[in-house]
Chains A and B, each alone.
Chain A
Amino acid sequence: MSDQVLLTTTVGSFGKPEYLQKARNANARGKLGESELNELERKATEEWIRRQERLDIDILVDGEMYRGDMVAYFAERLDGFRIGGLVRSYGNRYYHKPIIASKVGRPTPMTVDWFRYTQSLTDRPVKGMLTGPYTMLDWSYNEAYKTRRDAALALAEVVRQEAEDLQAAGARYIQIDEPAIHARPEEIDIAIEAMGVVTQNLDAKTISHICYGDFAAIYPKVLELPVDQLDLAMANYGYRWLELFDKHPFTKELAIGVVDVHSHETETVATAAEGIRKGLRHVSKERLLPHPDCGLKTRSVEESEEKCRVVVEATKVVRAELARQATPA
């Protein structure tokens, strides 16, 4: 894989199989025990590792079979958080929005066992997957800290501990997602400072996923976010963010979203390939990583798989073009 270009990856979550969805519901109603649920989560994780290998994805994820919400999962395991009542996200979707009720702390690692298990299943690299401190703050109520900066820096400390434990467990890629980073563009310095705390001691490749918001409002400032790679939704936005790179060149590795995740239909291979070609105008083939726009947890297993298949097929089409250009007839 070392000399491969256009390494393919995914953003983190996949659709959960029906048996796991049923088990999670039964567990929530107290009708299925933790160890039984855990067995099924491990089974679903292994199935997703095999699917990713079959699909020929280069950098794998565990698929987050054991997570519901990307903030609540951590909030439920950290000291200082309380899980609040239901709040509506959109339409008929509700979630338990966490409350930072007192000083936060990390009693034990939260994702390291899952990383170890998943990496043991495959020779391909698996990413460690964390939610960034600014997003943890922005998607929670803050009752405990005087300022949002204070809260973000306290959260950064616990995310740093988790990231360093992932690295010690062998993670070569650590993704620290910040989808809320543009919620308040005037606070981007806080997000940058907090990410600096998280990544300061890491040698692993660091990545941050950003989606659904006004990326233009934080560009080019977001290039100061101390990670090696930004992972951006592009297909959903008609690749409009690439135009920003004309004025201020993009200076990091770019994981580029080439299929929209919120529609049931998947783009054609040709359309996705065109997306990759657009990315190549701004970022070299060694630093461009095709993937779906966002996590696939809202899609079914079959839809998740189909979207990944299109990403990989499109990547192979473009790799072949690049190889032909490199060796003139």
Chain B
Amino acid sequence: MKTTVTGAYPKISDEHQDLRRALHRHDRGELDAEGLSRVLDDSTRWAIGELDWAGVDVINDGQVRWDDLLAPFARAWTGCDRGPLERFYDNNTYFRQPVITGPITTDGTTLVRDFEFARGVARGQLKAAVCGPLTFATLAEDHHYASLEDRTLAVADAIAAEIRGLGAAGATLVDVEEPALVAHPEHFALARAAVERLALPGVPLALQTYFFPADPLLDALAAFPVAQVGVDVRSRDTDALGRLNALRQTVVLGIVDARNTRVETESEVVDLIEAALKQVPADYLWLAPTTSLEYLPHDVAVKKLKVLVAAAHATGGVKA
């Protein structure tokens, strides 16, 4: 069993507010783009250091440069602008709605520089992440494609190009963050067709679902061409924990609630791991927060990571 994280890490803490201040200064014209970029790199180093220090086995770069899950792509791709603020699912967190104005194209290097930077900093194994195509397509405003199908598959092709770029830069695992799949289970066939395109570059993928129970989709998820599937068994009522053997991939088990400040006890988390081990062999089980830790204040996120890692060690997980 390995521990990992999904999505974004808190960008600031009560003590570490460099990035917040730098962005304010940048807005006021007191800090140029280069100066801001240096602070963004420093904050990425800080986030990676914290994840490493917490003893998480497989980390990401904390997505410090991401305003939201869609922003890096909406910014970089041609055929795409950034529109009004919208609520991000059932969070009191907002994202800029992408507005699709023409055919989406990318050179596939959107994330390469940041991945290479993070690899130079991380001590342990580093994974990359992309936005799931169904999530991007269902949240975008579209003035170009004829249907949700066309839009989703066009987005999938662009994201596949990004994954190919990440693979060429040395990425060996890429999270595909796809909350739309569990928010709109009726679109699972379309989501699968899109993920099939993401698999073409041959980089192992982890399909991460969150915010909503995966219960209605567990059997369907087994057919997705990915190495890992992330399932939240903690934050909402779900029967998924007793049915994990429906999956054929490695299960990334969301077991500490990244959207509530109540810190789980180690024994609560151990109980969940032991229940999962009745369904999935230890070699096929990874342990994680239920979603981005950025939904928590930094101090609570750190406590949740500690419990996660301690519970993993207590049940025979990999020791750092």
Chain A residues near B (Cβ < 8 Å): 84-92, 94, 97, 99, 138-139, 141-143, 180, 183-184, 212-213, 236, 262
Measured between beta carbons, the chain A residues less than 8 angstroms from B268 are: none
Q: Which of B67, B85, B294, B297 has the most CB of A within 10 A?
A: B297
A84 touches B297 (CB 8 A): yes
In this assembly, does B187 line the interface, its C-beta being within 8 Å of a C-beta of chain A? Answer: no
- B93: chain A residues at CB < 8 Å are 88-90
Q: Are B297 and A90 in touch, CB under 8 angstroms?
A: no
Q: Which residues of B contact A212 (CB under 8 A)?
A: 85-87, 94
Q: Is the CB of A262 within 8 A of B11?
A: no
Q: Please give, as numbers and ranges, the residues of chain B lying within 8 Å of A142 by CB-CB distance.
A: 260
The reply to whether A88 and B27 form a contact with Cβ atoms under 8 Å apart is no
CA A184 – CA B27 in complex, angstroms?
34
Number of A-B contacts (CB under 8 A): 70
Q: How far is the CB of A30 from chain B (nearest CB, A)?
A: 16
Q: How far is the CA of A6 from the CA of B262 in the complex (A)?
A: 48
The segment from B12-20, B47-55, B119-127, B202-210 that touches chain A is B12-20
Q: A92-B24, A142-B260 are in contact. Are A86 and B90 (CB under 8 A)?
A: no
Whether B262 and A86, one on each chain, are in contact in the complex, defined by CB atoms closer than 8 angstroms, is: no
Which B residues contact A (CB, under 8 angstroms)?
10-14, 20, 23-24, 27, 67-68, 84-87, 90-96, 259-262, 294-300
With a cutoff of 8 Å between Cβ atoms, the chain A residues found around residue B84 in the complex are 236, 262
Query: Is B14 a contact of A94 with CB atoms below 8 Å?
Result: no
- A212-B85, A236-B84 known; A90 vs B300 contact (CB < 8 Å): no
Bound Cα distance from A89 to B297, whole angstroms: 12
> CB < 8 Å: which of B10, B13, B27, B96 contacts A92?
B27
User: What separation, in Å, do the CA atoms of A142 and B90 have in the docked complex?
Assistant: 15
Closest to B71 in A: A91
Residue from A86, A139, A262 in contact with B297 in the complex, judged by beta carbons closer than 8 Å: A86
Contacts of A90 in B (CB 8 A): 67-68, 85, 93-96
Residue contact A143 to B261, C-beta cutoff 8 Å: yes
Q: Kindly state the separation between the CA atoms of A90 and B86 in the bound complex, as whole angstroms.
A: 10
A97: contacting residue among B92, B96, B262, CB under 8 A? B92
A94 touches B261 (CB 8 A): no
Q: Are B262 and A141 in contact (CB under 8 A)?
A: yes
Which residues in A have their C-beta under 8 angstroms from that of B86?
Answer: 212
CB <8 Å contact, B90 and A184: yes
Report how far A99 CA is from B10 CA in the complex, Å.
Answer: 17
Residue of B at shortest CB range from A214?
B87
Nearest CB of chain A from residue B33's CB, rounded to whole Å: 15
- A71 to chain B: closest residue by CB: B92
Question: How far apart are B70's CB and chain A's nearest CB, in angstroms?
Answer: 12
Complex: A88 Cα to B91 Cα, angstroms: 11
With a CB–CB cut-off of 8 A, which chain B residues contact A85?
A: 13-14, 297-300
- What residues of B have a CB within 8 angstroms of the CB of A91 in the complex? 23, 67
In the complex, which residues of chain A have a beta carbon less than 8 angstroms from the beta carbon of B27?
Answer: 92
B84 CB, min distance to chain A CBs, angstroms: 7
Query: Do A141 and B23 form a contact, CB below 8 Å, given A84-B297, A84-B300, A212-B85?
Result: no
Residues of A within 8 A of B24 (CB): 92
B92: chain A residues within 8 A (beta carbon) = 89, 97, 138-139, 180, 183
Residues in A with CB closer than 8 Å to B68 are: 90
Residues of A within 8 A of B14 (CB): 85-86
9 more A-B contacts (CB under 8 A) besides A90-B94, A138-B90?
A84-B261, A85-B300, A86-B14, A86-B297, A87-B295, A89-B93, A90-B95, A92-B24, A213-B87
Q: Which residues of B contact A97 (CB under 8 A)?
A: 92, 297
Instruction: Report the Cα distance A275→B134, complex, angstroms.
Output: 34
Q: Enumerate 9 A-B pairs (CB-CB under 8 Å) in ascending A order.
A: A84-B297, A92-B20, A141-B260, A141-B262, A143-B262, A183-B92, A212-B87, A212-B94, A262-B85
Contacts of B13 in A (CB 8 A): 85-86
B90: chain A residues at CB < 8 Å are 138, 183-184
In the complex, chain A residues whose CB is within 8 Å of the CB of B10 = 87-88
Q: How far, in angstroms, from A143 to B257 measured CA to CA in the complex?
A: 12
Chain B residue, CB-CB nearest to A260: B84
Which of chain A's residues have a CB closer than 8 A to the CB of B262?
Answer: 141, 143
CA distance A86 to B16 in the complex (A): 11
CA distance A143 to B20 in the complex (A): 28
Contacts of B12 in A (CB 8 A): 86, 88, 94
Query: Bound complex: CA of A88 vs CA of B295, how far in Å?
Result: 8
Q: Which of B23, B68, B94 has the most C-beta atoms of chain A within 10 angstroms of its own C-beta?
A: B94
Least CB distance, A92 to chain B, in whole angstroms: 4
Minimal beta-carbon separation of A318 from chain B (angstroms): 26
A208-B91 Cα distance, complex, nearest whole Å: 20
